[in-house]
């Protein structure tokens, strides 16, 4: 099974400052069709998770452009260019190249 490892596990950010979350997979997520199936979700306090980024770098409908995803193979990054108060919550990466596996989550809070 593919193991997803996120770092850091928690992040305290001043509003307006950037934030970066890393996600590493135990094996390459490059699928036989040439695509890489790595996605990012945000679970705000008391809410269901919501899709932010699909296929490494594509923002889902309605997601602000301060969120961006990048990476390839086994190493992936989610960046928030300027953190806002509404961005607090737990961020998860998930792979779907082989079944599905979530990372352990990164909790983002505001300083």
Partner 1 sequence: QVTLKESGPTLVKPTQTLTLTCSFSGFSLTTIGVGVGWIRQPPGKALEWLALIYWDDDKRYSSSLESRLTITRDTSKNQVVLTMTNMDPVDTGTYYCARRLQESGRYYNFDYWGQGILVTVSS
Tell me how far, at minimum, the Cβ of 104 lies from partner 1, in Å: 5
Token pair belonging to 11: 């992040």
If binding is defined by CB under 8 A, does position 96 make contact with partner 1?
yes
Q: What is the DSSP string of the chain?
A: ---EEEE-SEEEE-TTS-EEEEEEESS--B-TTS-B-EEEEEE-TTS--EEEEETTTEEPTT--TTEEEEEETTEEEEEESS--GGG-EEEEEEE-SSS-EE---EEEEE-
Which residues 37-56 are close enough to bind partner 1 by CB under 8 A? 37, 39, 41, 43, 48-51, 54-55
Tell me how far, at minimum, the Cβ of 50 lies from partner 1, in Å: 7
If binding is defined by CB under 8 A, does position 65 make contact with partner 1?
no
If binding is defined by CB under 8 A, does position 85 make contact with partner 1?
no
Answer whether 74's CB lies under 8 Å from 28's CB.
yes
If binding is defined by CB under 8 A, does position 60 make contact with partner 1?
yes
User: Given candidates 88, 102, 109, 110, which one binds partner 1 under the rule CB under 8 A?
Assistant: 102
If binding is defined by CB under 8 A, does position 92 make contact with partner 1?
yes
Contacts with partner 1 by CB under 8 A lie at 1, 35, 37, 39, 41, 43, 48-51, 54-55, 58, 60, 92, 94, 96, 99-105
């Amino acid at each position: 099974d593919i193991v997803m490892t996120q770092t850091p596990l928690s992040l305290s950010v001043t509003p307006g400052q950037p934030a970066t979350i890393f996600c590493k997979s135990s094996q390459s997520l490059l699928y036989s069709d040439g695509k890489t199936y790595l996605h990012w979700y945000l679970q705000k306090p008391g809410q269901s998770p919501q899709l932010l980024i699909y296929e490494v770098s594509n923002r889902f409908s309605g997601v602000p452009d301060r969120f961006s995803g990048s990476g390839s193979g086994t190493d992936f990054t989610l960046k928030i260019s300027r953190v806002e108060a509404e961005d607090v919550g737990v961020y998860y990466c998930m792979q779907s190249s082989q079944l599905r596996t979530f990372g352990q989550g990164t909790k983002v809070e505001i300083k």
